[in-house]
Amino acid sequence: MARPIGPTRTGAEEEAAGVVVGARGPAYPFAPKSNRWLEAGQFWSVPLSDGRFACGRVLDVPREADLHVPVGTKIFLAGLLNWVGGAPPTEDAIAGAALVAQGFAHIKTITTTGGQVLGQRALEADGITPALWRSHEAGGVVLVYEGARRLRPASAADRDLPVMGTWGYSVISVLAEKQFGGRS
């Protein structure tokens, strides 16, 4: 009869270690090392200079190559919610909070601000869809996207849509400070 190699863990020990048998992805909270386990709706805290917290959300994770959408193992579409609180965000606390800004970001946007993905709440539950944006200003076919999904060629009616940018690691913190009036 073969004996197990090394110590075995009880279910409680596995849970404490962040191991969830049969579940997809890591247990919350977790600090992402790539976008592999990022999914739309996940959220993290964005500490403000006055001690309060804002909330970042994962809006989309581009996985298919596209000329106008950055794709890589560390890139995702980040969003800032119209939410501020005295404690880090929770699934219940952010219910109904609207999206105020979005941009493609590196996972360090999470790890250098809030540090960890705290949980997940379906974007649909809050009526959130990534905002529409244009691929570029002019020259060639200008395209309209929703999140990382290409929708159609742009028309004259789309000329006021923004051109999507890529955020630096701390852009979400700067936007949150401006939105919520924290000290700079």
Nearest one of 130, 51, 131, 123 to 94, comparing CA atoms: 123
Q: Is the pTM here over 0.85, yes or no?
A: no
Question: In the 8-state DSSP scheme, what is residue 15?
Answer: H
pLDDT in tens, 109-132: 999 887 899 999 999 999 999 999
Under 8 Å between Cβ of 172 and 180: no
Give the residue, 92 or 21, on which the prediction is more confident.
92
Whether omega for the bond prior to residue 70 falls within 30 degrees of 0, making it cis, is no
Q: What is the pLDDT of residue 4?
A: 38
What per-residue confidence (pLDDT) applies to 182? Answer: 60
pLDDT digits (tens, 9 = 90+) for 22-56: 556 789 999 999 999 999 999 999 999 999 999 99
Name the E strands within 63-176: 75-85, 99-106, 119-120, 132-134, 143-146, 149-153
Task: Write the Ramachandran bin of 140: left for phi over 0, alpha for psi from -120 to 50, otherwise beta.
Answer: left
